[in-house]
C-alpha cells in the first residue's frame, strides 16, 4: 500500500476505560470482522484476558477503511493493556505507530495510567486523538472530563471526540479523525530495507513469528535478511498481517505493520527491539527499546524435579511473547532446581505464572517476591541483590538501599484520611495533594517499592470501594534498615521462606510465617521448633508437638488390601519429602505456605 494511505495507531488508556471495546467497534465498522463472528472484547483472545476482563498483551489488527474522501486506507491498530505492569507492551506498540487514541472514561475521568501512557506517546512524538468514552453512562460527566483534559493533560478539549464504544456512538468520527489527523508513515531514507521487531510469539510449525513494522523498503517471502543484534541471516518464509488472526500477504511495504516468519527455530535467536534489514546490504540500526529493568523477582520451580528442562524450554518460548519477563537458573534446598525470574510488577508475575501453568501445562511453585536492593559492603564494593539467599552477612554490610517509587494515588476526597494512614503503614512519606475536581484528589508520596508489592493495590481498591487508582514511577533508592528474615526448622534454615524485610516489619512477618508453617508441617516423632531469625536473633517461634501415635485403630481381615495400599501411598509420599536435618517436610507444605503468603 502507498504510504500516504497507511495509518498506524495504538489505543491507549487507563485500565478499563474501554480500549478493547472500542477496538471491537472499529473492527466491526470497517468490516474486518463479520457481525456473526463478533464477540465482546474480541481482541482479548487469551483465556486469561477473557477471564479477568483485562488486556494483557498488545494485539495488532489491520483494517481497510474507505474514508469520506472516497479513498481506501489501511489502518493498523494496536490495542494495548491499561495496567501499569504492562506499560512495556504499550511503549513497544507505540514505537510502531504515528498516532494514538487516548481513551478517557467519561465517568471516571483522567486516571493514573491515562497520564502515564500519554507521556509515553508524547515522548515518541505521536499525534494524540483524545476520545471521551462511555458517554452513554448515566453518571458520565463529559464536561468534567474535558476540563481535566485541559487542566491535567494540557490537551485542548475541542480536540476530544465524544464516544460510546458500547453503543457505537462516535465511531465514524474516530475513523475519520484517524485518517485526517494522524500523519502517514515516512520512509527513513536508508539505503535498504529496515524493519523493527516489536513483539513475537512461538508457533509450533513456523517457529518464531516476529511482529514487524516496516520503516524503510519492503519485505516479502524469499528475501535474505539479517537480524542485526545477533548478526545472523535468514530467508523470509512468509509475511502477513492480522485480522486479528494471522493471514498471509505478498508483501509488507514501507509503513505497514504485520508479521514475518523465517524458520527461526530457537527463541534465543530473537531479540525484541531488534532491526531487521537486508542481508547483503544492511542498513543502520533503528532506535530499539530502552532496556527495561524488572522490579520484582521471585523463584519459579517445577513441582516435579524432572520437569526442569521442560520448564526451561517453555520459559524461552514465553519470553518471546513477553519480553519484559527475564529468568536465570537458580536452586534451592527446599525446592530443587528452578529459575530466578524478574517481572515488572506483581500482576505481571501472576500472569507469567498462570501462562506457564495453562499455555505450557507446567506444574510450578513460586517463592516470595523480592525487589532489587543495593547493598554497599564494608570493603567499598557495591552489589545488587534480588534474592535473599545472596544477601551477605550483616557484618560485611555497610548499608542497604531499597528502591523507592513516587506513587500517584487518585482517590475520592472522603478517603484521604484512610489513604494517608495506609501510606504511613507502608513506610511511605506523603509529599503533596492536588485537587483534580470537586470529588477527587491526587496524593503524591514516596514509597518503598517493596511495600507496594504485596497488597497495596488491593488495599487502595478496598478503601475507596473501587474508585481509587494508583500509578508509580521510579524515584531512586534510599537507605533503609533492611534485614534478612530466615525461617528455621530445628535450627536448619528453609531457604524458600527467607526474605528481605524492613526491620520494623520483620517480627510481624516472622510470626505470621511461623504460624502458617506450624499449620502445614506434619507432626514428627519428636517436637519441632519453627523459628524466625534475623542473624542469630530469634524473633518468632512456634513449636509443633511431637507425633504421639501413628496407627490405625482397628484392622480387620477385610482391610488388609486397602490398608496396605494406603500405607504404600504414604510411603511414596514420604519419599518426595524434603529433609531439613532430621525433619521431613512434604513439598506440598512448602507450596501451601508459598501460595498463601504471596
Ligand X SMILES: Nc1nc2c(ncn2[C@@H]2O[C@H](COP(=O)(O)OP(=O)(O)OP(=O)(O)O)[C@@H](O)[C@H]2O)c(=O)[nH]1
Q: In this chain, which of 378, 570, 579, 596 binds other proteins, going by CB under 8 A?
A: 570
Among 30, 55, 275, 332, binds ligand X (CB under 6 A): 55
Q: Does residue 239 contact residue 248 with C-beta atoms inside 8 Å?
A: yes
Interface residue with other proteins, options 235, 425, 473, 568 (CB under 8 A): 568
Of all helices (H) and strands (E), which one includes residue 441?
A: strand 440-448
Number of residues that bind other proteins (CB under 8 A): 23
Among 291, 380, 556, 575, binds other proteins (CB under 8 A): 556
Residue that the C-alpha cell 516489619 belongs to: 505
What's the min distance (Å) between Cβ of 153 and ligand X? Answer: 17
Is 576 a residue that touches other proteins (CB under 8 A)? Answer: no
Q: In this structure, what are the phi and psi dihedrals at residue 268, rounded to the nearest 5 degrees? A: -70, -15
Q: Which of residues 334-393 bind ligand X (CB under 6 A)?
A: none
Q: Which is nearer to Mg ion, 50 or 123 (CB)?
A: 50
Give dist(CA 329, CA 342) in Å, integer. Answer: 12
Of residues 394 and 560, the one with the C-beta less far from other proteins: 560
Which grid cell sits at 193? 530495507
- Distance of closest approach, residue 148 Cβ to Mg ion, in angstroms: 21
CB of 499 to ligand X, least distance (A): 30
Check residue 527 for interaction with other proteins (CB under 8 A): no
293 or 564, CB closer to other proteins? 564
Q: Are 124 and 95 in contact (CB under 8 A)?
A: yes
CB of 103 to ligand X, least distance (A): 7
Find the binder of other proteins among 248, 313, 329, 567 (CB under 8 A): 567
The reply to whether 164 sits near ligand X by the rule CB under 6 A is yes
Q: Which stretch binds ligand X (CB under 6 A): 160-168, 416-424, 455-463, 572-580?
A: 160-168
State which residue, 138 or 557, has the beta carbon closest to other proteins: 557
CB atoms within 10 A of CB 564: 10
Residue 575 lies near other proteins (rule: CB under 8 A): no
Minimum CB distance to Mg ion smaller for 42 or for 356: 42
Q: Provide the 10 A C-beta neighbour count for residue 248.
A: 12
Among 8, 10, 32, 41, binds ligand X (CB under 6 A): 41
For Mg ion, the binding residues (CB under 5 A) are 19-20, 55
Q: Where are the beta strands (DSSP E) in 153-206?
A: 161-162, 194-203
User: Given candidates 137, 162, 221, 538, which one binds ligand X under the rule CB under 6 A?
Assistant: 137
**Residues constituting the chain:** 598
Comparing CA positions, the residue from 76, 12, 93, 45 lying closest to residue 245 is 45
User: Distances in Å between the alpha carbon of 510 and those of 448, 488, 560?
Assistant: 20, 10, 45
Calpha distance 585→579 (Å, rounded): 6
Selection from 86, 67, 28, 96 nearest residue 244 by Cα: 28
Q: How far is the CB of 16 from ligand X (least distance, A)?
A: 4
The CB-side HSE value for 301 (13 A sphere, CA atoms) comes to: 23
Nearer to ligand X, 142 or 512 (CB): 142
Stretch that binds other proteins, among 48-56, 466-474, 508-516, 544-552 (CB under 8 A): 544-552
- Give CA angle at 249 (246, 253), nearest 5°: 115
Among 8, 20, 298, 498, binds ligand X (CB under 6 A): 20
Q: x/- binding map, residues 473-512, to other proteins, per CB under 8 A?
A: ----------------------------------------
User: Helix 587-597 crosses helix 503-520 at what angle (to 10 degrees)?
Assistant: 140
Task: Please report, as residue ranges, which positions from 52 to 111 form the binding site for other proteins (by CB under 8 A).
Answer: none
- In degrees rounded to 5, what are phi and psi of residue 505? -105, -5
280 and 204 in contact (C-beta within 8 Å)?
Answer: no
- DSSP H helical segments within 426-500, as ranges? 449-452, 456-463
Pick 19 or 459: Cβ nearer Mg ion:
19
328/316 Cα distance (integer angstroms): 11
Q: Which is nearer to ligand X, 148 or 298 (CB)?
A: 148
CA distance 340 to 549: 40
Q: Mark the segment that binds ligand X (CB under 6 A) among 128-136, 302-310, 554-562, 572-580.
A: 128-136
Smallest separation, CB 489 to other proteins (Å)? 20
Residue 136 touches which of other proteins, ligand X, Mg ion, none (CB < 5 to 8 A by kind)? ligand X
Phi then psi dihedrals of residue 377, to 5 deg: -95, 160
Q: In DSSP terms, which residues pair with 11 in a beta bridge?
A: 79, 101
* Spatial separation of the C-alpha atoms in residues 213 and 193, rounded to whole Å: 11
In order of 292, 348, 350, 440, the CA distances from 354 in angstroms are: 22, 10, 6, 35
Query: How far apart are CB 506 and other proteins at their closest, in Å?
Result: 32
Does 549 engage in binding with other proteins (CB under 8 A)?
yes
Residue 564 in contact with other proteins, rule: CB under 8 A? yes
Q: Which residue is nearest to ligand X (CB)?
A: 82
Nearest-approach distance from CB 233 to ligand X, in angstroms: 38
Partner whose footprint covers residue 36, from other proteins, Mg ion, ligand X, none (CB < 5 to 8 Å by kind): none
Instruction: Kindly state whether residue 82 participates in binding ligand X, applying the rule CB under 6 A.
Output: yes
Q: Does the footprint of ligand X cover residue 323 (CB under 6 A)?
A: no
Residue 21 lies near ligand X (rule: CB under 6 A): yes
CA distances to 25, 26, 62, 64, 176 from 69, in Å? 21, 18, 20, 14, 9
> How many beta carbons lie within 10 A of that of residue 242, not counting itself?
20
Give the interface with ligand X as residue ranges (CB under 6 A).
Answer: 13, 15-21, 41, 53-55, 81-82, 133-134, 136-137, 164-166
Binding interface with other proteins (CB under 8 A): 525, 545, 547-558, 560-561, 563-564, 567-568, 570-571, 574
Amino acid at each position: 500500500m502507498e504510504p500516504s494511505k497507511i495509518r498506524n495507531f495504538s489505543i491507549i488508556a487507563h485500565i478499563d476505560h474501554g480500549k478493547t471495546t472500542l477496538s471491537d467497534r472499529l473492527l466491526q465498522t470497517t468490516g474486518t470482522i463479520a457481525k456473526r463472528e463478533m464477540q465482546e472484547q474480541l481482541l482479548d483472545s487469551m483465556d486469561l484476558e477473557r477471564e479477568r476482563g483485562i488486556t494483557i498483551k498488545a494485539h495488532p489488527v489491520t483494517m481497510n477503511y474507505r474514508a469520506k474522501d472516497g479513498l481506501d486506507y489501511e489502518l493498523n491498530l494496536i490495542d494495548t493493556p491499561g495496567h501499569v505492569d504492562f506499560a512495556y507492551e504499550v511503549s513497544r506498540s507505540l514505537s510502531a505507530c504515528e498516532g494514538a487514541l487516548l481513551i478517557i472514561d467519561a465517568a471516571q475521568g483522567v486516571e493514573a495510567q491515562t497520564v502515564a501512557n500519554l507521556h509515553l506517546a508524547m515522548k515518541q512524538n505521536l499525534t494524540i486523538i483524545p476520545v471521551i468514552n462511555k458517554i452513554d453512562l448515566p453518571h458520565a460527566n463529559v464536561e468534567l472530563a474535558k476540563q481535566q483534559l485541559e487542566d491535567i493533560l494540557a490537551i485542548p478539549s475541542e480536540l476530544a471526540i465524544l464516544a460510546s464504544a458500547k453503543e457505537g456512538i462516535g465511531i465514524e468520527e474516530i475513523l475519520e479523525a484517524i485518517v485526517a489527523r494522524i500523519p502517514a508513515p515516512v520512509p527513513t531514507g536508508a539505503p535498504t530495507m529496515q524493519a523493527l521487531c516489536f513483539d513475537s510469539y512461538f508457533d509450533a510449525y513456523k517457529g518464531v513469528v516476529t511482529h514487524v513494522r516496516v520503516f524503510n523498503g519492503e519485505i516479502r517471502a524469499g528475501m535474505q535478511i539479517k537480524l542485526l543484534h545477533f548478526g545472523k541471516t535468514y530467508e523470509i518464509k512468509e509475511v502477513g498481517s492480522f485480522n486479528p488472526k494471522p493471514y498471509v500477504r505478498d508483501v509488507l511495504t514501507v509503513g505497514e505493520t504485520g508479521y514475518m516468519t523465517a524458520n527461526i527455530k530457537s527463541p534465543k535467536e530473537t531479540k525484541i527491539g531488534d532491526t531487521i534489514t537486508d542481508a547483503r546490504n544492511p542498513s543502520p540500526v533503528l532506535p530499539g527499546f530502552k532496556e527495561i529493568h524488572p522490579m520484582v523477582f521471585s523463584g519459579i520451580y517445577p513441582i516435579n524435579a524432572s520437569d526442569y528442562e521442560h520448564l526451561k524450554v517453555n520459559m524461552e518460548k514465553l519470553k518471546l511473547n513477553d519480553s519484559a519477563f527475564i529468568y536465570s537458573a537458580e536452586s534451592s534446598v527446599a525446592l530443587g532446581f528452578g529459575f530466578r525470574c524478574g517481572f515488572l510488577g506483581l500482576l505481571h508475575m501472576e500472569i507469567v505464572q498462570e501462562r506457564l501453568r495453562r499455555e505450557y501445562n507446567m506444574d510450578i511453585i513460586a517463592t516470595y517476591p523480592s525487589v532489587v536492593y543495593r547493598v554497599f559492603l564494608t570493603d567499598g564494593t557495591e552489589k545488587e541483590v534480588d534474592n535473599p539467599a545472596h544477601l551477605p552477612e550483616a557484618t560485611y554490610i555497610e548499608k542497604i538501599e531499597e528502591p523507592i517509587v513516587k506513587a500517584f494515588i487518585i482517590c475520592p476526597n472522603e478517603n484521604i484520611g484512610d489513604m494517608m494512614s495506609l501510606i504511613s503503614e507502608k513506610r511511605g512519606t506523603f509529599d503533596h495533594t492536588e485537587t483534580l475536581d470537586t470529588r477527587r484528589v491526587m496524593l503524591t508520596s514516596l514509597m518503598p517499592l517493596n511495600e507496594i508489592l504485596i497488597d497495596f493495590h488491593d488495599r487502595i481498591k478496598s478503601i475507596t470501594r473501587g474508585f481509587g487508582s494508583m500509578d508509580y514511577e521510579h524515584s531512586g533508592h534510599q537507605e533503609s534498615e533492611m534485614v534478612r528474615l530466615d525461617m528455621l526448622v530445628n535450627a536448619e534454615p528453609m531457604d524458600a521462606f527467607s526474605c528481605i524485610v524492613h526491620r520494623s516489619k520483620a517480627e510481624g512477618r516472622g510470626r505470621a510465617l511461623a504460624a502458617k508453617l506450624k499449620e502445614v508441617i506434619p507432626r514428627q516423632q519428636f517436637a519441632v521448633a519453627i523459628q524466625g531469625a534475623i542473624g542469630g536473633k530469634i524473633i518468632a517461634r512456634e513449636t509443633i508437638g511431637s507425633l504421639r501415635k501413628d496407627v490405625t485403630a482397628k484392622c480387620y481381615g477385610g482391610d488388609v488390601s486397602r490398608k496396605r495400599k494406603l500405607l504404600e501411598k504414604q510411603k511414596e509420599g514420604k519419599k518426595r519429602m524434603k529433609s531439613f536435618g532430621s525433619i521431613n517436610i512434604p513439598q506440598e507444605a512448602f507450596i501451601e505456605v508459598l501460595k498463601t503468603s504471596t
